[in-house]
Chains A and B, each alone.
Chain A
């Protein structure tokens, strides 16, 4: 079955460490997204990518980095520069139909700084 997979489901990070969240899709979608979800603040866009080897900053990109070396993969690295990384992270993909198709979401990764 086609879908979008995030791993791990839960992730614990020590202060000062970088961690990478995985997002893989087998839907052959062009565009991929990373969102952060905090209580009361909805989904805030971190980074998005329209095509391979290209990506754009979202609204809260500071302290995060991404890569898009393959169409199906869009990993997110939370760096030590992100001062408050504890949150729920969602990855999404869209076929690229300019709003004509829905976004598909992964199950999310809960990141906790310990």
Chain B
């Protein structure tokens, strides 16, 4: 069974600085997909970034980038130049290729301070 672990319940960062969120996962599959989703106070889920396991290059979306370490089963998210609007809960997610099961971690609450 696949599991997703986020070990940081809360993180705080000063505006314009950088914060890194950690995520580890466990799977026996060789190919899969990893995601980071953002849930602001409105509770609407928003896709932040996506990584395909067979691609070695780390994904980047504007101020958001990942560090994907397949051997270590690690998938961290870096938020650069943090903005007040980045305040939200961030979820790491895993989707295998054997079926459509989409599993999430427990989430990390990020607070950006002015």
Give A contacts to B, CB under 8 Å. Answer: 30-31, 33, 35, 40-45, 48, 50, 56, 58-59, 88, 90, 92, 94, 96, 98-100, 102-103, 105, 107-108
Contacts and interface: CB of A to CB of B under 8 A. Distances in A.
Report the contact-size class of chain B (Cβ under 8 Å from the partner).
20 to 34
B32 A99 contact: yes
28 contacts: A30-B100, A31-B100, A35-B104, A42-B6, A42-B91, A42-B107, A43-B104, A43-B107, A45-B101, A56-B99, A56-B101, A58-B101, A88-B43, A92-B45, A92-B102, A98-B95, A98-B100, A99-B32, A99-B33, A100-B52, A102-B47, A102-B50, A103-B37, A103-B45, A103-B47, A103-B93, A103-B102, A107-B43
B106 interface: yes
B35 interface: yes
Contact of A98 (B33, B91, B93, B107): B33
Nearest to B94: A99
A105 B45 contact: yes
Closest 7 CB pairs of A and B: A99-B33, A42-B106, A43-B104, A105-B45, A102-B47, A31-B100, A42-B107
Nearest to A49: B100
